[in-house]
Chains A and B, each alone.
Chain A
């Protein structure tokens, strides 16, 4: 238990995806844990929850959201938070995470993780909102560094400084996505090691890895395909700096069989010291 929040190192897990539901429920494969996409199980009373209940009864889960919109200047959505907390309680999720981003404004949702201007004004805004969410949940919120493709000219600091100051000032946890670090490093022209050097690793409770799509002029965080070795090496570096943290593979498009996906996730063990 290396992080300051006392949250457990669950091992190497997989993002839970619908195409794998039946295999998981019927074959009960040996998997350390699953990360669920929170919104997939909200505003529904039907089949998604039935599958989730069957899986959460057997495996540890953590929740990962995409619509908290912590950076938006719209008011926090209390109905969303209420449903989020209920889902957390229903699944006994070990923690709740979302992204350092905003997803919409004026009541509209783009369903994308939009970049923040890294300004003092934005920092104050997000710190206040993270505190409010944590008070509501009664637990630390983990925020993930997003992959970004644009940067506001108004920025007054780099993303890593914004993330570190946010985590300290709001006293929140970090979900560090090392693929996103790699993607953003290419898109913005920085060294990923500079990013890692600035992360307060005592706040890192989870690490993400994923595949991406290289378009030569930019990289898209597509969550397709296997993880490249450069990203695996970043994972190993981050894992050691954190003194251990739960690792999770995201694979969201052109998803192969459960066995292939899980085997890819388990490659993480080669890069985190083969401790498990």
Chain B
């Protein structure tokens, strides 16, 4: 294999630096030829603009509701800062936006975490769901210590703002005001090819989080506190029926 050096590498380092960071743009005049209608610098700018636009578009695809919440201008500004801080180092853009919540504050951070959870479950295998029929085969004496195995395409989020309610309202075509602080929790999961979100009250969150953490069934269900047993049973059946779990460990 030929050496990866010399003039070719030097030209690539310049070109990439120019379009990604705007470095040494004045060198375009000597490094590039003029075209029939555009000068060297204008030709370079086609690539500069394309670079940024492509990554902003990628982030907008992953964070459509955050874009709605912030507005076009603020969202684009956020994206520009993100692109400068996190240049892509991957062959594809599937995980490019994973750090965006870390560059947001308050409600925007919660909303970004929710939207990224959706991206994550899309790219995780759904797995073969555990069924209520399979659970029914577990001997009664094994129930207390049995542990459920959550699917890989399941994310539970706790947030300081009702981001899921806001998300749903925007998806329904509304333009809700940005919400104030209020603790909330949501489970994001994939059922077949569809991504679902299910709001969780505090008791539901405690129980589901414990189940996903593979705590024994009896201990996890006891975290429901004063909730009536039939209600807890209904939650449990819904979670299992929704495909949040893919296995059960006994013994």
Q: Nearest chain A CB to B121's CB is how many angstroms away?
A: 7
Q: Per-residue CB proximity of B89-110 to A under 8 Å, as 1/0?
A: 1111111000000000000000
Q: Nearest chain A CB to B51's CB is how many angstroms away?
A: 5
Does A89 belong to the interface (CB within 8 Å)?
Answer: no
Chain B residues in 8 Å Cβ range of A216: 37
Partner of A73, one of B9, B35, B89, B126: B9
Does A132 belong to the interface (CB within 8 Å)?
Answer: yes
The segment from B39-47, B133-141, B168-176, B212-220 that touches chain A is B39-47
Chain A residues in 8 Å Cβ range of B15: 114
The segment from B26-34, B180-188, B226-234 that touches chain A is B26-34
Chain B count of residues within 8 A CB distance of the other chain: 53
- Chain A, range 175-197, C-beta contacts under 8 Å to B: 186-189
Does B225 belong to the interface (CB within 8 Å)?
Answer: no
The segment from A6-14, A148-156, A204-212 that touches chain B is A148-156
Partner of A218, one of B38, B58, B87, B94: B38
| Additional A-B contact list (11), CB under 8 Å, known A108-B20, A128-B2, A154-B11 | A43-B95, A44-B94, A73-B5, A104-B16, A106-B13, A110-B47, A111-B58, A111-B88, A125-B8, A150-B33, A218-B38
Whole-angstrom CA separation of A224 from B223 in the bound complex: 55
Number of A-B contacts (CB under 8 A): 157
Whole-angstrom CA separation of A187 from B1 in the bound complex: 33
- Cβ-closest chain A residue relative to B57: A253
Partner of A108, one of B5, B8, B89, B193: B89
A positions within 8 Å CB-CB of B: 39-40, 42-48, 50-51, 67, 72-75, 77, 80, 102, 104-112, 114, 117, 119, 121-122, 124-125, 128-129, 132, 149-155, 186-189, 216-218, 220
Chain B residues in 8 Å Cβ range of A153: 30-33
Contact B125 A45 (CB under 8 A): yes
Contact A151 B16 (CB under 8 A): no
Contact A151 B4 (CB under 8 A): no
Partner of B1, one of A44, A114, A129, A186: A129
Known: A150-B32, A189-B35. A112 touches B50 (CB 8 A): yes
Whole-angstrom CA separation of A42 from B90 in the bound complex: 10
Contact A114 B47 (CB under 8 A): yes
Contact A124 B36 (CB under 8 A): no
Contact B12 A105 (CB under 8 A): yes
Contact A72 B95 (CB under 8 A): no
Chain A residues in 8 Å Cβ range of B89: 107-109
Q: Nearest chain A CB to B61's CB is how many angstroms away?
A: 10
Contact A187 B7 (CB under 8 A): no
Whole-angstrom CA separation of A218 from B36 in the bound complex: 9
Known: A105-B13, A152-B11. A47 touches B1 (CB 8 A): no
Q: Name, among B12, B30, B89, B93, the residue most crowded by chain A CB atoms within 10 Å (CB to CB).
A: B12
Q: Nearest chain A CB to B64's CB is how many angstroms away?
A: 15
Whole-angstrom CA separation of A89 from B186 in the bound complex: 38
